[in-house]
Amino acid sequence: MVVGSVLVTGGTGYIGSFTALALLEADYKVVIVDNLYNSSKEVLNRIELICGKKPAFYEADMTDEAALDKVFAEHPDIDSVIHFGALKAVGESGEIPLEYYRVNVGGSIALLRSMTKHNVTNIVFSSSATVYGDATRFPNMIPIPEHCPIGPTNPYGRTKSTVEAIITDHINAQRNNLTKKGEPGAEKWNAALLRYFNPSGAHPSGVIGENPLGVPYNLLPLLAQVAIGKREKLLVFGDDYASKDGTAIRDYIHVLDLSRGHLVALNYLREKSPGVKAWNLGSGRGSTVFEMIKAFSDVVGRPLAYEVAPRRAGDVLDLTANPTLANQELNWKTELTLEDACADLWKWTENNPEGYNQQPPKEFVDALKK
């Protein structure tokens, strides 16, 4: 039995593919839109390997409103969207900000317009802890609660806070307009702004993981490339922060916990009609870069080369979540640790050094068939 139908933008990407899997496992029908800018269609086969179901797929650009219209027209059963499709490299966003605004903000406006035409009323948005910026500028805001004032320090973060504002204004306007006209259905318009901390890890089966097409931007995938010899060393940006070892503090959340967070947020919107809600999805545990290098080296079983470089513009000292609101309202909390994430990432990388450009080891596939 299908419990509902969801459009997943950016659904062949890292977090999108895990969320598509979680939705299928929970008996949602899944339709993916992605332009494959940073992902591979092969992940659709891997999803099917794990759960026996394959999402529908459209190769289309987020900014192409007519293409989105066509997808909704062909799937009138869709009532919700989980919106991942975006550019996501903080450093690059400082070099080509217009492109970031065009895709992230422009793509979201095209999506909301198309959703509205087709009466698709729930949206779960991939926001980021980056929207908070430097939370140490206020007293008592580490770990960061949702009421911490927004103040991104780079263009990427500003695209995310801008889209949060656009979604909030639109959902509230839809509710108000319907109420004013005395028409039914105002409560159907809902949004979840999910502020992720640092997603990491891979599927424990070893057949799905992060597969960036260019240079990865996150610490753990870079470290994994060092471990398989694809990269000589890791650059550690700044060892003069006010942390215990001088490196920046982040909250690493296993991608399986994160994808489950999307499922429970979507269910909450569809069942409770709360209007617009923001939730932090993090573990509440902060780790420094040096601690992460140690944790991943322990899993690999040997030291990994790194070099300290100057701080990067737009980076902040500490992004650790206070996940209490999601714990209480969504009844969601992380169940896996960063050690689990390191172990699963290593299993994925060591056995699939070419990512989706190679077939996974036969014994992994056989294990899934049992």
Ligand X SMILES: NC(=O)c1ccc[n+]([C@@H]2O[C@H](COP(=O)([O-])OP(=O)(O)OC[C@H]3O[C@@H](n4cnc5c(N)ncnc54)[C@H](O)[C@@H]3O)[C@@H](O)[C@H]2O)c1
What residues between 112 and 171 interact with ligand X by CB under 6 A?
126, 128
Which span sits near ligand X by CB under 6 A: 83-91, 165-173, 180-188, 359-367? Answer: 83-91
Helices (H), the chain: 14-25, 42-51, 65-74, 90-95, 97-100, 107-117, 155-180, 219-227, 255-272, 289-300, 324-329, 338-351, 362-369
Side-chain-side CA neighbours of 340 within 13 Å: the count stands at: 15
Determine the size of the site formed for ligand X (CB under 6 A).
28
Piece in contact with ligand X (CB under 6 A), picked from 70-78, 84-92, 136-144, 221-229: 84-92
Give least dist CB 313 to ligand X, A.
18
306 an active-site residue? no
Q: Which stretch binds ligand X (CB under 6 A): 28-36, 137-145, 312-320, 332-340?
A: 28-36
Number of residues that make up the chain: 370
Question: Nearer to ligand X by C-beta: 206 or 282?
Answer: 282
55 contacts 20 by C-beta, under 8 angstroms: yes
Q: ω before 143 within 30° of 0 (cis)?
A: yes
Q: Which residue in 6, 7, 15, 192 binds ligand X (CB under 6 A)?
A: 15
> Rounded to the nearest whole angstrom, what is the least distance from the CB of residue 230 to ligand X in the complex?
18
The active-site residue out of 28, 156, 196, 268 is: 156
Residue pair 151/133 in contact (Cβ under 8 Å)? The answer is yes
Q: Does 216 bind ligand X (CB under 6 A)?
A: no
Closest among 188, 145, 139 to 328, alpha carbons compared: 145
Concatenated DSSP letters of 200-228 = E---TTSS-----SS---SHHHHHHHHHT
Side-chain-facing half-sphere of 27: CA atoms under 13 Å:
3
> Which of these segments, 8-16, 21-29, 111-119, 359-367, binds ligand X (CB under 6 A)?
8-16
User: Which of 5, 6, 8, 14 lies at the binding interface for ligand X (CB under 6 A)?
Assistant: 14
Region from 81-89, 132-140, 246-254, 322-330 binding ligand X, contact rule CB under 6 A: 81-89
39 binds ligand X (CB under 6 A): yes
* Contact partners, residue 77, CB within 8 Å, separation at least 6: 5, 29
Write out the two tokens for 35. 């332009």
Least distance between ligand X and beta carbon 21 (Å): 13
- Closest approach, Cβ 245 to ligand X, in A, equals 22
**Cβ-count burial 189-203 (b if 16+ within 10 Å, e if not):** bbbbbbbbbbbbbbb
Among 5, 35, 280, 349, binds ligand X (CB under 6 A): 35
Nearer to ligand X, 218 or 288 (CB): 218
Could you say which of 88, 170, 175, 254 contacts ligand X (CB under 6 A)? 88
Asked if 84 is part of the footprint of ligand X (rule: CB under 6 A), the reply reads: yes
Catalytic residues: 156
What residues line the site for ligand X (CB under 6 A)?
Answer: 10, 12-16, 34-39, 61-63, 84-88, 103, 107, 126, 128, 196, 198-199, 218
